[in-house]
Amino acid sequence: MLLHCEVEPGARSEQFQFNLASSWLRAETLESLVELNEQCLELLAEQAMVRTAQSNLMLRQIGELWRTLDASARRRAAACPYLLVDAGFADPHRWRWIGGDHVSDRESLPGASFFTVPRAVTVARLVFTYAWYLARTQNAAARLVLGMPGHCTNIIGGCTLRQIHELAERYSGWLKPRWPARVKVWRELLLAAASGEGIALERARMHGLQLLAAELRSSMAPS
């Protein structure tokens, strides 16, 4: 059912998306998701201040918009029913070392790390731990909140807490923004959060939910 969510024509409440998520996420888990998204958005803004990041359109726009948001607007931006970053949660090859087949550094991190600021390791630890908790306790929610297909949920949920922390320390470079090439999606979310306009916020959140659901369907399709 979650993979087929569509915007209801009559739904016009600012809280529509948040209430939708509340129906399948525990209250404390949802609150933790919002707090984690705030941390992720702050990491993006911090990365945007690094000189080498100025050529990245997404980082430049997020940094500019983030600095204009007050505390309430930042909270609204973070209040999405899905995680705003990814760590390869749909890629089982990144996690196969758990079964004893350790991956090499070259295999584990294709391409350069998106985040280079020191704070990235701290945020990665929070993201990995949250993913581990969801995979172990709310399997269905982990699939949509994190874009994590069932086979990856089972692998990650089978980790120990120590293993998850080791992963975060060693592979913090896996962390990246969700949809890094979709600048319009991010701009839509931050502008809606800045305005506080309910319909715009609902549309921005639902757009992200639909993108994530489409990616999850694609990752589950037979190859």
- In sequence order, which residues have a C-beta less than 8 Å from that of residue 56 and are 6 or more positions away? 48
Q: Residue written as tokens 């969700």?
A: 178
pLDDT band at 52 (very low <50, low <70, confident <90, very high): low
Asked, for residue 47, whether it belongs to a domain, the answer is yes
Tokens 């399948």 identify what position?
24
* Cβ(36)–Cβ(127) below 8 Å: yes
pLDDT grade, residue 22 (50/70/90)? low
Of 109, 90, 46, give the one whose Cα is nearest residue 178: 90
Say how many Å lie between the first and final Cα of the chain, rounded.
23
Q: Is residue 3 part of a domain?
A: no
**Domain hosting residue 167, numbered range:** 15-220
How many independent structural domains does the chain possess? 1
Counting Cα atoms < 13 Å in the Cβ hemisphere of 9 gives 0
Please check whether residue 159 lies inside any domain of the structure. yes
Contact 170, 53 (CB under 8 A): no
Distance, CA of 153 to CA of 181 (rounded, Å): 26
**Domain assignment present for 53:** yes
Confidence label for 95 from pLDDT (cuts 50, 70 and 90): confident
Flag whether pLDDT at 190 surpasses 90: yes
pLDDT at 51: 63
Report the Cα 146 to chain-centroid distance in Å. 6
Q: What percent of the chain has pLDDT over 90?
A: 44
Return all residues near 36 (Cβ < 8 A) that are at least 6 apart.
Answer: 83, 126, 127, 130
Residue 8 confidence (pLDDT) above 50: no
**5 occurs within a structural domain:** no
What pLDDT does 19 receive?
Answer: 53
